Structure 1
Amino acid sequence: MPRRSRLIRCTAVLAVLAAGAVGTTHAADWSDTSLSYRYGTKFAEPFNENDITKNIVNFSHASGYKYGKNFFSVDLLMSSNLDPSSAGSNSGAHEAYAVYRHTLDFGKIAGKSYAFGPVRGVGATAGFDYNSKTDAGYNSKKRMVVAGPTLMLDVPGFLDVSLLAIWESNAPYSTFTNQATPRYSYKTHAMLTGAWAIPFDFGLPLSFEGYANFITAKGKNEFGGGTAPETNIDMQIMYDMSGAVGAGKNTFKVGVEYQYWKNKFGNPDRNNNGATARTPMVRAEYHF
């Protein structure tokens, strides 16, 4: 099956999963579903020295129920031709990247408070990452499962911090050599991760949102090379413009976003300019 067709099939499967996530909201205490668009001209990819332009369309769904909460997100990333779809191609790469997390709140399960100090709740998180990309060199097919404890901090909005074990594998395909690499599992490694959305008012209804991942090295890669610890911080300031257009609160948001990603996907940035990204973006969201 052609690689582009596989990507379309993958995106369709992820869309079905997303629809399933939305379909469970009848049992939810709260839910938030959104479509968003972001754009930047300074994206980076390992072993590619170019600044890459990307258009990214996202579907996200978050909901809370009696014992915890769910989060599902899928990006469709469309690169400029400086990140080509295949060797010698003038078209850009396409990628689908999905994330799912489920957090159990131990206090809600036990019917009592586990709050202490700045912590308002204790729980456990599990989930997965899944991607499929059509590009000239690597054609990632990442599969990743995560699990570990979570602290929910006492802030306006939310700030969750988790320490997760990661089980990750990949099975890339090179269009330069026409060679597939059998699925390879990295060493089990750890991630300290935080996700937040904190509202504030500076004369305008604003929020500070994002995530930060600090990931340890994952041993040897599938080609026998060493990997490096990753730092991936993605943060945005969003303006709720809903009132200005007569819509309900938090329906329409616009803002600016910045991502710093060092040693992207565990690739050391020594003599590898594309392994560290410093990417400003603009972002728009519609919540329903």
Structure 2
Amino acid sequence: MPNLVRLTAAIALLFACTAQAADWTDTSLSYRYGTKFAEPFNDNDITKNIVNLSSVSGYKYGKNFFSIDLLMSSELDPSAAGSNSGAHEAYVVYRHTLDFGKIFNKSYAFGPVRGVGATAGFDFNSKTDAGYNSKKRMVVAGPTLMMDVPGFLDISLLAIWESNAPYNTFTNQATPRYAYKTHAMLTGAWGIPFNVGIPLSFEGYANFITGKGTNEFGGGTAPETNIDMQIMYDISETLGTPKNTFKIGVEYQYWKNKFGNPDRTVPGATAKTPMVRAEYHF
């Protein structure tokens, strides 16, 4: 885990440096907490504390998004076989979106669509737990529609190239890196401000992922639905700080067939998780 922390810190520093050349940037440190997380092959409700560092920035031809989650589980998701401590996980996401209208100095707007572009990026994770010890590596690429809404709503259809190389601490058996079948993801990400007497925003993402063929153990996989949404309240004015500095809110995640595990046969493969969330933007 220390090596992973150093790696993610180095990546965060790299993107902090590149953000200096951006036209605009929004970097945030956040914390969220929930008691109803689920993990495949585990029928317990798991408590997790999650610390996140995110940065979104825009430049002449598009925008960048970078996020690191550090997830700390309760002992019901143990760090090793027979351990009384909870698992730790780091999950990194990067997306780069090119805006064709900005590149070619031409409007591609039509109907409810403000612009057209293309998105590419990657995910990777590392988790220390009693069973699977995920080492996910994933690359994505595909077209993006930027919708004409207050704030933003981007919808992308992405091809996914994903692999994993887990290690089972019960059997002490490592699985060679295994590439799943190339599959697809319809994904949306949004941040839409609104006001009901207080400044609020509706934020989140939704991923609809097709099955990825046979898994590394010869079993089948199922399509995934992962929807994570939050209502956030900007309390900056109350604290005497600039707008959008401090936010608090509630979050809910619905994740069916988590990681492609069919919930009809795998306990813990669907999560319905309410959370509380706090953010500091700088």
**TM class, shorter-chain normalised?**
over 0.9
TM-score under structure 1 length normalisation: 0.97
CA distance in structure 2 between the aligned counterparts of 1:56 and 1:8, rounded to whole angstroms: 17
Matched, 1:45 2:39: yes
1:270: Cα distance to partner?
Answer: 1.0
CA distance in structure 2 between the aligned counterparts of 1:8 and 1:216, rounded to whole angstroms: 34
Partner deviation per Cα, 1:26-76 (whole Å, 9 max, x = no partner): 211110000000000000000000000000000000000000000000000
Match of 1:139 among 133, 147, 152: 133
Within a 5 Å distance, the mapping from 1:35-184 to structure 2 comes to 35-184=29-178
* Further displaced range: 113-122 or 229-238: 113-122
Matched, 1:264 2:238: no
Give the gaps of 5 or more residues in structure 1.
1-6
Question: Percent identity at matched positions?
Answer: 82
Which residue does the alignment assign to 1:192? Answer: 186
Give the gaps of 5 or more residues in structure 2.
none
Matched, 1:232 2:226: yes
1:201: Cα distance to partner?
Answer: 0.1
Residue identity opposite 1:99 in structure 2: V
Partner deviation per Cα, 1:116-155 (whole Å, 9 max, x = no partner): 1100110000000000000000000000000000000000
Which residue does the alignment assign to 2:216? Answer: 222
1:19: Cα distance to partner?
Answer: 1.2
Residue identity opposite 1:68 in structure 2: G
CA distance in structure 2 between the aligned counterparts of 1:8 and 1:195, rounded to whole angstroms: 31
1:110: Cα distance to partner?
Answer: 0.2
Match of 1:244 among 228, 238, 246: 238
State the SS of the aligned residue for 1:52.
strand
CA distance in structure 2 between the aligned counterparts of 1:12 and 1:151, rounded to whole angstroms: 35
Within a 5 Å distance, the mapping from 1:19-34 to structure 2 comes to 19-34=13-28
CA distance in structure 1 between the aligned counterparts of 2:2 and 2:66, rounded to whole angstroms: 19
Matched, 1:202 2:196: yes
CA distance in structure 1 between the aligned counterparts of 2:5 and 2:102, rounded to whole angstroms: 35
CA distance in structure 1 between the aligned counterparts of 2:252 and 2:115, rounded to whole angstroms: 29
1:10: Cα distance to partner?
Answer: 1.4
CA distance in structure 2 between the aligned counterparts of 1:122 and 1:10, rounded to whole angstroms: 36
1:105: Cα distance to partner?
Answer: 0.4
Residue identity opposite 2:109 in structure 1: A
Question: How many residue pairs were aligned?
Answer: 282
CA distance in structure 2 between the aligned counterparts of 1:106 and 1:261, rounded to whole angstroms: 32
CA distance in structure 2 between the aligned counterparts of 1:251 and 1:200, rounded to whole angstroms: 17
